[in-house]
A and B are shown apart, each in its own frame.
Chain A
Amino acid sequence: MNGSAKAAILRAAGIDKRFGALVVLDGVDFTMGADEAVGIVGPNGAGKTTLLSVLSGAYPPSAGTVAFKGGDVTALSATQRCRLGLVRTHQVPKPFSGMTAFENVFVAASHGAGLQRDEAYEEALGSLNLCGMLGIANRRAETLGLLDRKRLELARALAARPTLLLLDEIGGGLTDGEASELVGTIKELRRRKIGIVWIEHIVHILLQVAERLICMDAGKIIADGEPHAVMADPQVIRAYLGGGPK
């Protein structure tokens, strides 16, 4: 209901993902509008990260299709999807460790956003600045702590100029102050009309940004809608208590 009301920017239909005999995604349908902010919650191992990987093209689904901006992107690589504006961050940060923070972000600006020289520099510096990393721009990424690596994930994805940004647990382990900084950053992205899909365990951070919440469990979407209603859904409560729906 939420997604179909506005023009859909992303439409995933009938997504299955199996690793050998293990079924990780089981018939996931997910549609969202161009400038929505959607939160995804769910217990560990629910398949949230896997869904993000299938949406971003990191690996192909076992079945189903992904459409972005009205075109079928199921057969497109992660590189191509990024260049179309569908960009993800990684739950376990994947920095370019031998490169400086600036260089990490510059790669995204020049290849993801396709910018040249000064424009690429500006985009990269802007993203670093937005994520509060300008002061450590010259640090090699391998010297950064986990917090800064997560920030770098966000800054790097931003420099690719996404229209839809897929965030995977960028807020874990933050202090209250850091968390509200992060929420501020994400709100700034919303002002820039960037669509957001945000996986996060810390629901109260999520709820400051997300207008719609999805709960996944055992490879399925078990609830989807207004955040507080979703959190109050008996199925969701059961999933979090560990039994799982059955």
Chain B
Amino acid sequence: MKKVFSRPKSLIDRQTHFCPGCTHGTAHRLVADAIDHFGVQEETIGVSGVGCAVFMYDYFAIDAIEAPHGRAPAVATGIKRVHPKKIVFTYQGDGDLASIGTAETIHTANRGENITIIFINNTVYGMTGGQMAPTTLLGQKTTTTPYGRNFRNDGYPIRMAEMLAPLEGVAYSTRVSMHNAKEVLKAKKAVRRAFQMQIEGMGLTFVELLSACHTNWRVKPLEGQKRVEEELIPYFPLGVFKERKGKDFL
């Protein structure tokens, strides 16, 4: 992959604990880029979910807190209500946001909390060793779907960006990918757009990033990117599902 940007100022210069080639690292850069772009490093408070990205505070040079698994949107709500002028974002995996924290996600979105949610969809529970996630594709083998995900037993992969878009409180809902340089540039724009809309006070902004977990998919890093393109995108289409144009609240 060609170098799309150099290390943003709000990222600490330090080796991460992510598996080499993991796109969590790319997503961190995208968020840090948006923070730098709007010059809000000293105005931003980050909330990490529990998952591979729990150590947000080790990598971002911003104020940050670790929320209980799935509760980041509720924690962010508390923070934003105290500091309505600050930029508040959560960074959550698919187990965190779309399984254990579904209620917090939906109701925070429905209240139109003026925060940004960065959602990493890698179709597995990375941190705990590759178990099925709510986003695991049908037929996908994980450590708890050894015969492949079967809808009769496990239900269907959940599409969060589409699900949240119709909620009145949601200002922006989009799905982007990071599997090649071109898509990373689009993803960068989407994250910036989400932060911009938060700065403008438009409501909840949601960016779903398709991410490869080649370690738990048990493939080589490059094959992981290929799988995103060939298997994930057909089920999780990229695009903008909602984008408010003004503060057109009801």
Report whether chain A binds chain B. Answer: no
Residues of B within 8 A of A (CB): none
